[in-house]
């Protein structure tokens, strides 16, 4: 049976019997995917008492009825879990965090790019802009964790700010920096929820896309979410 290209919903076939089954399956698929809002994205074990229509993004290392469904959309429909495979560019609202997330590169990420604020613009189109790249980063279960956002090639960075959104576990503190300079934007930072730091370095030019690296101190990361923002200057050539 042929399916639609984007949502993988089954088409009706000529002379098909019980057409209502196919139609109802397609409607159920639309009910899951349209205006996607999920209850949580941090669960690896299915909730014990789901309610009809509940939706989740399956976390890493899923078990039980969710085994093998990492990063998929899990929906409780007609007394069973139904899974949908996301595609790049899909968006969802995570209700328990009041946060939008995006599916890109095989993973869900809450990645935001703030609009640029021009400091100066020349008649032929050249411009100088202050910009911010921002991410709510779920720490990898390891000694280090690199962000999805990156300091752009040719950016002039003034600093990196962080705030612990969900308490960090497994480490006594953490450093914020880049590969080779792991505490460039802050060392031995607090792990409690609400802890923050403004890692000011002064103007520093970068000549390659470079992720921010968090390094655990006193043990590997076992959990935690850190909101990180890269504050930088960008130069735009004439049009």
Identify the structural domains of the chain with CATH numbers, from first to last: 35-105 (no CATH), 114-236 (2.60.120)
Note the pLDDT of residue 81.
96
Whole-structure pTM over 0.85, yes or no?
Answer: no
Q: What pLDDT tens digit does each residue of the chain (239 aa) get? A: 565 545 555 555 655 566 555 554 654 555 456 668 899 998 999 999 999 889 999 998 999 999 999 999 999 988 999 998 888 888 888 888 777 888 876 788 865 555 567 788 888 889 899 999 888 899 999 999 999 889 999 999 999 999 999 999 999 999 999 999 999 999 999 999 999 999 999 899 999 999 999 999 999 999 999 999 999 999 988 87
Find tokens 């279960």 and name the residue.
Answer: 141
Distance CA 237, CA 4 (A): 43
Contacts of 123 (CB under 8 A, 6+ apart): none
Note the pLDDT of residue 27.
47
Q: Length of the chain, please?
A: 239
Instruction: Kindly give the pairing relationship between strand 156-169 and strand 37-38.
Output: unpaired
Contacts of 111 (CB under 8 A, 6+ apart): 102, 104, 134, 135, 148, 149
Chain-centre distance for alpha carbon 89? 12
């Amino acid at each position: 049976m042929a399916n639609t290209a984007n949502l993988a919903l089954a088409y009706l076939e000529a002379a098909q019997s019980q057409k209502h089954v196919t139609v109802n399956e397609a409607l159920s698929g639309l009910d899951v995917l349209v205006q996607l809002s999920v209850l949580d994205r941090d669960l690896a074990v299915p909730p014990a008492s789901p309610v009809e229509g509940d939706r989740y993004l399956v976390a890493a290392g899923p078990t039980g009825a969710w085994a093998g469904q990492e990063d998929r959309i899990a929906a409780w429909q007609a007394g069973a879990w139904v899974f949908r495979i996301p595609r790049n560019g899909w968006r969802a609202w995570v209700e328990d965090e009041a946060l939008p997330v995006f599916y890109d590169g095989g993973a869900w990420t809450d990645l935001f790019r703030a609009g640029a604020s021009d400091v100066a613009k020349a008649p032929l189109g050249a411009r100088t802009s202050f910009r911010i790249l921002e991410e709510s980063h779920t720490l990898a279960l390891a000694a280090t964790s690199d962000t999805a956002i990156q300091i752009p090639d040719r950016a002039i960075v003034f600093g990196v700010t962080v705030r612990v959104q969900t308490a960090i576990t497994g480490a006594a503190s953490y450093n914020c920096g880049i590969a080779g300079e792991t505490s460039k934007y802050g060392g031995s930072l607090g792990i409690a929820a609400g802890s923050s730091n403004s890692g000011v370095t002064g103007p520093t030019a970068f000549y390659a896309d470079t992720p921010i690296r968090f390094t655990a101190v006193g043990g590997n990361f076992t959990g935690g979410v850190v909101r990180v923002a890269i504050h930088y200057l960008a130069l735009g050539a004439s049009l």
